[in-house]
Structure 1
Amino acid sequence: MLPLAGPRFIRCQTHRLQVIYKSLLGIRRMNFLMETLQVIVMSIYYNMEAVVRLFIPPKNKNVTGEIVLITGAGSGIGRLLAEKFAPLGVSLVLWDINQEGMEETSRLVQEKGATKVHYYLCDCSDKSEVYRVADKVKREVGDVSILINNAGIVTGRKFMDAPDSLIEKTFEVNTMAHFWTYKAFLPAMTANNHGHLVSIASSAGLIGVNGLADYCASKFAAIGFAESVALELLATGKDGVKTTIVCPFFINTGMFDGCNTKWPLLLPILDPDYVANKIIEAILTDQVYLLLPRTMYFIIGLKNIIPAKLGILLGMYLGAFNFMDAFKGRVKKVE
């Protein structure tokens, strides 16, 4: 039979536990200090890097041989992006619900130098159709390595005036379609630790706009989804799969016909060609966020630090309450 532990034995064990606890506490404090120092040093480095990049842009990456899929490629920004990619030696895969639009885009990109162009009729709001067409793309073209989720719709109606069916369609196209395309094409990217995910969102996904409740909500969700997946990729060591989130103000593509801006020098209605060029530049330089125009960086930053009442006052000053007053865009127009 083992002897019962005496007071001396208990004091000895207690002392040992105290020593171990103090050692662990010291290690934690050391880790805290080291990690804090690391954050400070890297913060200085990354800020300096950002300043340098203002004057010395990063070198464009080579996308020759990449398979680029663009949703909503039958018109607007989708068509322009396809045209910009045409001379870069990529294989283009065009998706849209408009067959004639895709055929026209295909013709235009071939005139611009594209030699490998494939187009598929696909309703991105239909999960089963996305998966079916995605499988067809994998068989006929290969694994997509640059995915550009561009398709989008806007109802342009006040929340209580928007039919339930249109609200649901807004989310199916602007948000849920991103889930299904990621599910279809991301596995191959992660397996190769190579690829690029591009979300064409909106500045309306960063700040609410009067008269765009469903559209804003769908774009907020799309941005949150893209950011979360980007963090998952980094957390799992898949840093070879890049992400870009694009948040432009209203673009003059017809989707937001009639929308106006109170101060065009501060918040201009954007030229589509300019936007397409900036998106291509962001993709080729692995830019994580692209806000257009540049004043949006200041506006969004200001939103997060000023009192709510002041934010409303500035919103009224900028005309945010009246952007949609003369809206006459087409409900099912694809960006």
Structure 2
Amino acid sequence: IVITPFSSSLCNVNSKLQITGTGHGMGRAVALRLGRLGATIVCVDINKQNNDETVELIKQEKGKAYGYICDVTDRAAVFDLAAKVQREVGIVTVLLNNAGIMPCKPILRQSEKEIRLMNDINIHGVLWGIQAFLPNMLERNYGHIISMSSMAGLMGLRNIVPYCGSKFAVKGIMEALRVELHEDPRDFSGIKLTTVYPTMVNTGLCKKPNLRFEKLLNVVDTDQAADAIVDAIRRQYTEISIPADLFYSNKLYRLLPISSALVCTDLLGTGLDPDDV
């Protein structure tokens, strides 16, 4: 999908690029691909062992990578990380906010602790990352921030009500930031923003997908999703969905009356079954 005022030509990625949640799954897959393209990868995760494995995998492919441990829910820790990375690696010009969790169970079975932790990671982690790394981008009028939302940030799904809310929030954060930069009297046209809306990806986050028509809607392979994200970064797309056609399908879905939209939801049978049963 392409919804962008920017050039569709491929950009070089031989810059310093920080990714959160690189210990496994999507974060690791994207980090490996960008490392192969010549980027210096700053790998950030709360799990040191897994993160070190990602750094080593990049280095085995002759890439440049540095590993840092950080709890993205801790604003002070994120700011300390930004200062440390600048001293030890250099100025980060591309930031990928990827860290996230997804408790999957009916809303009344989700605990306060689960919901607060998820919002701290999925929402506050994005905000703290932007606040910590955007100033250097503004100073140079150069940079790129990519944030992972979800198709659950465009439509509601059962058993992940709080998660949907957190991913709608990421969408709103990125849209509002784009407007704020655009309306600033200074020229910040060199700063690009990309929001990514993946559907269910087999990274382990989505444990029990429930899909009636798997040929129409299926769980996306991690490699396929990572390739799409890297392509979006290089083309500086404003928004992408994975698979691409889901973004447009959702636009059509939004035109329907609520009663008709719910009939479509029933027909397609999309959703997730609870993890705790």
Please tell me the TM-score bracket, short chain as reference: over 0.9
Counterpart position of 2:240: 290
Residue in 1 that maps onto 2:206: 256
Percentage identity across paired residues of the two chains = 33
Counterparts of residues 151-230 of structure 1 (less than 5 Å)? 151-230=99-178
- 1:327 positional shift: 3.6
CA distance in 2, matches of 1:297, 1:178: 22
Asked if structure 2 preserves the Cα contact closer than 8 Å seen for 1:199 and 1:244, the reply is: yes
| Gap regions ≥5 residues in structure 2 | none
Which gives a bigger RCO, structure 1 or 2 (Cα 8 Å, sep 6+)?
2
Query: Compared with structure 1, are the counterparts of its residues 328 and 163 closer, same or farther at alpha carbon in structure 2 (3 Å cutoff)?
Result: closer
CA distance in 2, matches of 1:214, 1:325: 15
* Secondary structure of residue in 1 paired with 2:197: strand
TM-score (norm 1): 0.78
**Secondary structure of 1:254 counterpart:** coil
| Secondary structure at 1:113 match in 2 | coil
Tell me the CA shift for residue 277 of structure 1. Answer: 0.3
Map of 1:98 onto structure 2: 47
Candidates 303, 315, 318, aligned match of 2:253? 303
User: Computing the radius of gyration over CA atoms, which structure comes out larger, 1 or 2?
Assistant: 1
Paired residues of 2:8 and 2:236 also in contact (CA < 8 A): no
Match of 1:316 in 2: 266
Structure 1, 82-91 or 245-254: larger mean CA deviation: 82-91
Does structure 1 conserve the Cα–Cα contact (< 8 Å) formed by 2:159 and 2:274? no
Residue 13 of structure 1 corresponds to none
Alpha-carbon distance in structure 2 between the residues aligned to 1:328 and 1:245: 30
**Separation in structure 1 between the aligned mates of residue 250 and residue 30 of structure 2, nearest angstrom:** 26
**What is the deviation of 1:257?**
1.5
Q: State the match for 2:23 in structure 1.
A: 74
Code of the aligned partner of 1:280 = V
1:264 positional shift: 1.4
Query: What is the distance in 2 between the residues matched to 1:223 and 1:202?
Result: 9
Report the residue type matching 1:73 in the other structure.
Answer: T
Q: Distance in 1 between matches of 2:134 and 2:188?
A: 11
8 Å Cα contact 1:193/1:240 also seen in 2: yes
| 8 Å Cα contact 1:266/1:295 also seen in 2 | no
Q: Specify which structure has the higher proportion of helix.
A: 1
Paired letter, 1:150:
N
Does the 8 A contact of 2:105 with 2:276 survive in 1? no
SS at match of 2:209: coil
CA drift at 1:201:
1.1
TM-score, with structure 2 as normaliser: 0.94
How many pairs does the alignment contain? Answer: 272
Task: Please give the alpha-carbon distance, in whole angstroms, between the structure 2 residues aligned to 1:238 and 1:305.
Answer: 34
Q: Is 2:8 the partner of 1:58?
A: yes
8 A contact 1:70–1:150 mirrored in 2: yes
Q: Which amino acid aligns with 1:148?
A: L
C-alpha distance in structure 2 between counterparts of 1:147 and 1:290, whole Å:
17
User: What is the Cα deviation at residue 245 of structure 1?
Assistant: 0.5
Q: Which runs of 5+ in 1 are unaligned?
A: 1-48, 330-335
The one-letter amino acid paired with 1:77 is M
Q: CA deviation at 1:326?
A: 5.4
